[in-house]
Chains A and B, each alone.
Chain A
Amino acid sequence: MTSAVSFQKVSRHFGTVRAVDAVDLDIAPGEFFAMLGPSGSGKTTCLRLIAGFEQPTAGSISIFGERAEGVPPYRRNVNTVFQDYALFPHLNILDNVAYGLMVKGVGKAERHKAAEDALALVRLPGYGGRRPGQLSGGQRQRVALARALVNQPKVLLLDEPLGALDLKLRENMQEELKSLQKALGITFIFVTHDQGEALSMADRVAVFNDGKIMQVGTPQDIYERPATRFVADFVGSSNVLPPDFVQRYSGQRRWGSLRPEAIRVGKATRGDGVSARLVSANYLGATTRLALDADGLRLHAVVPAGTKLPEEGEALVLTFNRDQLHLMDEPA
């Protein structure tokens, strides 16, 4: 099967900065794919390479089997939802949405009909006559989405699509984007620095750091079986365990990771386990996050709300199931 988007050894260098460095990537048709990473990790440059705003310094990109290098953005069957939405302030909402059809020469009645349909799809029917300035941030986001979707792209790119929205709106949009993607069957590729967003929406996630992909996998893969210390730390702040510590419990001298929720915290009297002291407790609502000091090793544990919390400085014993301890690929 042809990939929706395929990168072969793609690099994009800006002077001496390797924004994207020899990246290999295959995104399947119809997939909801997330590019996750801290700012400056190359995820947005990858998105711009697919959109055609950037050309690779080396390597090749293909979109549904067609070579993309040298093809300008306006000849790619790919549309983008921009981070700042980039609506045209001089056009009303209907003409904004119909813009892509207008430049392709579609007649007025037909393109306005299609734009109305697209607006209905993003649940903004009847908003066509307004100006972008009269809409709220969330509504503008929907218009940007409609404006991209009206062109029936094969791939939809979303650059930090929920970054500018407040928490409640963000949660609604997450669900909506997901059901929209399912209904349309279009390949969605979105860029985010929010690991929660990536894990909850995507079918697969690529974790970026320093222009390279650290790991690609399903949210479960990424979360439960991080390949490197960076992934373990960046996605959900796992406990990264040094090789010496791991050797004691698994017999192998490798870096390991342990999810905070996998650690059970008990009183010191209960025998074997890792002895530790409580440093601080952070109340997070549904859970409480404990910072622990195990003989110089800083660990975090998460306990559900309602658990009786130990005192600060109290001696504790930490236990966990051996199979929860994940050994990372990264050599010691």
Chain B
Amino acid sequence: MRSDRNQKTPLGLKIAAGLGLIFLHAPILLIFVYAFTTEEKSYQWPPPGLTTQWFAVTWNRPDVWEALSLSVRVAAISTAIAVVLGTLCAAAVSRSKFFGRETVSLLVILPIALPGIITGIALRSAFALTDIPFSFWTIILGHATFCVVVVYNNAVARFRRTSGSMIEASMDLGADGFQTFRYVILPNIATALLAGGMLAFALSFDEVIVTTFTAGQQQTLPIWMLEELIRPRQRPVTNVVAMVVVLVTLLPILLAYYLTRDGDQIAGSGK
């Protein structure tokens, strides 16, 4: 606690803070409420009646399952790619000195600073230019660009905190490169990787813009939701799915927060 205990928070500040929080989170609650409405053609306030039938309807819609499964697969594979590449890149940047190191570090972080639409257009024209057909893998490629950043940032922060002579000590004590990675490096960066990986998963799971440019006919869950809003049928199904998405992405972010709160910032969580 660094605030002065004797000094009371002014009431006005408390109210302002409360209002700010309500402004941020009330709309999300609204989405939850509409998941239970009986009105299916438009969002009417207050809801004319409450029902839980949309949960069953959603459960039985094959297009929801398809989109969900695509999103999960894309997020899982992008995250896996990001963890491997991000860790390797972080290790190279923080463990050795080479020509262009700062440039590499900047270029890796760039995709997250660039607006998604630019990444999307760039990838789309690149795919078109090289005659790569849009597929499951083009989506993953698009997602991996920003997932790598998240993992990289987390891993780099952790590498900076671990002593370089630890690796030398391990080698000195008879461990080869693989054993050193397995017994010294991995245990020391594991929580950072887990946190970075979960953030990457969450980012990929609700990505819309890059996906629009790199997907063919497939629909990831957020894209499916966008389409669904235009159709005037069974609207609350979208809200049910939205609830699920909120929970699926919120839990990993919370976990990531708890895993790294002893010092590391969760870099890139602001995207």
Contact = CB atoms under 8 A, between A and B. Distances in A.
A177 B165 CA distance: 22
Nearest to A98: B173
A90 B165 CA distance: 15
B187 interface: yes
Chain B contact residues: helix, strand, loop or mixed: helix
Contacts of B172: 51-53, 73-74, 78-80, 148
B181 to A, nearest CB: 12
B183 A73 contact: no
B171 interface: yes
Interface stretch (A25-33, A99-107, A271-279): A99-107
A305 B181 CA distance: 58
Contacts of B183: 99, 102-103
Given A99-B170, A102-B183, A84 B163 contact: yes
B179 A84 contact: no
Name, among B163, B171, B188, the residue most crowded by chain A CB atoms within 10 Å (CB to CB): B171
A99 B167 CA distance: 13
A165 interface: no
B168 interface: yes
A103 B179 contact: yes
Contacts of A148: 172-173
Interface string A59-94: 000000000000011110011101110111110000
A99 B179 CA distance: 11
A74 B188 contact: no
A73 B187 contact: no
Nearest to B190: A90
A86 B176 CA distance: 17
Nearest to B183: A103
Contacts of A100: 173-174
B178 to A, nearest CB: 10
A151 interface: yes
Contact of B174 (A83, A89, A104): A104
A147 interface: yes
Contacts of B166: 86, 88
B30 interface: no
B165 A84 contact: yes
B37 to A, nearest CB: 51
Interface in B142-189: 163, 165-166, 168-176, 179, 183-184, 187-188
Given A84-B163, A88-B166, A103-B179, A73 B188 contact: no
Contact of B176 (A51, A72, A78, A79): A72
A53 B171 CA distance: 9
Contact of A88 (B171, B176, B184): B184
Contact of A74 (B165, B175, B187): B175
5 contacts: A79-B172, A84-B163, A86-B163, A99-B173, A103-B179
Contact of B168 (A73, A90, A102, A147): A73
Contacts of A75: 174
B169 A86 contact: yes
A103 B170 CA distance: 9
A90 B173 contact: no
A82 B173 contact: no
